[in-house]
Structure 1
Amino acid sequence: MKQKLILLAVFIAFISNGCSIEDDSANFHFTSLEIVGAELPESFDYNQTYEISVNFIKPNSCTNYEGFDVVKDSLTVRNVVAIGTVRTDIDDCTEESIEQTASFIFKVIYTDPYTFKFYTGDNNEGEAEYLEVVVPVNKR
């Protein structure tokens, strides 16, 4: 029994040391990318799935697209942010705006119109600005 307790203590010590999420050697950080446009249908059909294409800007060659953060703000309001990673271990980034397109899948589960708020950046006062698109839902 004593040997099992020692093995358990060693295992716990190993796990707690090996799984630290606070790693100061990370060579990147996350950032929001500016969304400049989106392709949505004129209307949705209830209970159907759609691919939504989004155009966004990468500000330099050290920034990479990682995905979308789609957050439910209320019943049929979705905030959409394009997420990127910025490499911090590269000094010679090319400063050029590169427009790219990616998409995400969206399932219509309510019959009320959906409002998509695509993050376009912050204004001069530091407040978030959005491109808003309202898509009605056809009830069959």
Structure 2
Amino acid sequence: MKQFILSLSLISILTSCSVDNPSIVTVQNANVVDIVAPDTLNYQQTEIFEITYIKPTTCHTFEGFDVLGEAPELTIRTETRFEDNFNCEDTPTNTETVQFEYFVDIQQDHVFKFLSGASDSGQLQFITLNIPVNIE
């Protein structure tokens, strides 16, 4: 019985998690401040948008885009990964620019709504782009 308990204790010690570098990881929406977009979209082609968002701390890194809805009307949230290692520095004026790639698969004009923040009352705010589709 002592060997069983000793073996179980040894296995627990060898397989336990290390807490040397504790951190808390979450995914957060970023506030978009600028968008460089094409004037028209070309049907059956991939279009590139340059999205600039606020990177509020040194612990935020770009995670990706969350696209809601269906073409031709899409709501896009820019997501960051926040890893709080308890050594983050605030950088409220720091921005980063990333690319959003979109394949145009329908022939209708598109509406893109990029989340840009919230008002003082909590109402979500968007940068809205209405972009026609070139079918040629």
Residue 40 of structure 1 is matched in structure 2 by: 37
Separation in structure 2 between the aligned mates of residue 135 and residue 30 of structure 1, nearest angstrom: 29
Percent identity between matched residues is 23
Which of the numbers 55, 59, 75 marks the counterpart of 1:58? 55
Separation in structure 2 between the aligned mates of residue 118 and residue 104 of structure 1, nearest angstrom: 11
Residue 107 of structure 1 is matched in structure 2 by: 103
Residue 96 of structure 1 is matched in structure 2 by: 91
Report the count of equivalent residues. Answer: 114
Instruction: Give 2:42's aligned amino acid.
Output: D
What stretches of structure 2 of length at least 5 have no aligned partner? 1-21
Does the 8 Å contact 2:25/2:82 carry over to 1?
yes
Task: Show CA shifts across 1:4-38 (max 9, x none).
Answer: xxxxxxxxxxxxxxxxxxxxx86211110100111
Separation in structure 1 between the aligned mates of residue 113 and residue 39 of structure 2, nearest angstrom: 16
Report the secondary structure of 2:78's partner residue: strand
Separation in structure 1 between the aligned mates of residue 71 and residue 58 of structure 2, nearest angstrom: 38
Residue 9 of structure 2 is matched in structure 1 by: none
Residue 113 of structure 1: how far off its partner (Å): 0.7
> Within 5 A, what are the aligned runs for 1:59-74?
59-71=56-68, 73-74=69-70
What stretches of structure 1 of length at least 5 have no aligned partner? 1-24
Residue 139 of structure 1: how far off its partner (Å): 2.0
Runs of 4+ residues over 4 Å off in structure 1: none
CA RMSD, Structure 1 to Structure 2 (Å): 1.5
1:75–1:68 CA distance, 2 compared to 1 (3 A)? closer
Residue 104 of structure 1: how far off its partner (Å): 2.1
Instruction: Give 2:58's aligned amino acid.
Output: S
> Within 5 A, what are the aligned runs for 1:1-140?
27-71=24-68, 73-90=69-86, 92-97=87-92, 98-140=94-136
